[in-house]
Amino acid sequence: MRRASLLLLAAVAALPGCGGPLLFAELQVPELRVTLPEQAFPASDTTNPADWCALVQDPSTPCVQRTLDYDLGGPVPILNERGVTYDLRLEDVAIILSASQAGTDLTGVKYASLLVLADPTDPSSGTVIASYVRPPNAAPSRSIGVTGNSNLDLGPYLRTGILPVRVEVTFDAPTPAFLADVAAGFSLEVKLDWGSLL
């Protein structure tokens, strides 16, 4: 029995060497949905170059863009704490015309893509994390829904809890400016290493 006691004590003493931190807390949120309501998208025929996806606009398939900030540090303040690591995945995105946009639909949207920006000031630093291609003979619709690329960890793209995202919409039919709710579903795992704070 004495021997068993010593073996158990040795096992306990060896616990810190198992790999992960001995003192930790982990929050898992399988579904974290953030909706940015009434985001203004320019019309397909906008003449403001700042709204264009590229320096030169193709008149037959004009492309407009919006940069959105998903502030995840607000609802999950621990993201901004010291000793925290996290894994953030995009599960799905939906662009839904706001209720005030009666009589409008998104039939003219040929493509849409969502890019996450490594450098918020550099549009070319984007990585596509979700994309939409209008199916053939699609019925008029007030929303676009796409599945996100959940293989990409968006954690490295967070800046002080904010995920900068660029939405690019390509049209093949004239579409007026519209307001849309942009809803993104994420899965989130946050890990706090208590030991590093002691």
Contacting positions for other proteins (CB under 8 A): 1-2, 4-5, 8-9, 12, 15, 22-37, 69-71, 73-75, 160-162, 192, 194
Instruction: Record the tokens describing residue 91, joined without a space.
Output: 């599960």
Minimal distance in Å, beta carbon 12 to other proteins? Answer: 6
Alpha carbon distance 61, 110 (integer Å): 8
Nearest to 132 by CA among 111, 157, 152, 115: 111
Minimal distance in Å, beta carbon 23 to other proteins? Answer: 5
Provide the CB-side half-sphere exposure for 128 (13 A, CA): 10
Minimal distance in Å, beta carbon 59 to other proteins? Answer: 32
Nearer to other proteins, 162 or 177 (CB): 162
Nearer to other proteins, 36 or 152 (CB): 36
Minimal distance in Å, beta carbon 159 to other proteins? Answer: 11
Residue 93's DSSP bridge partners are 146, 184
Nearer to other proteins, 67 or 101 (CB): 67
Nearest to 93 by CA among 123, 63, 114: 114
* One-letter amino acid for residue 198 of the chain: L
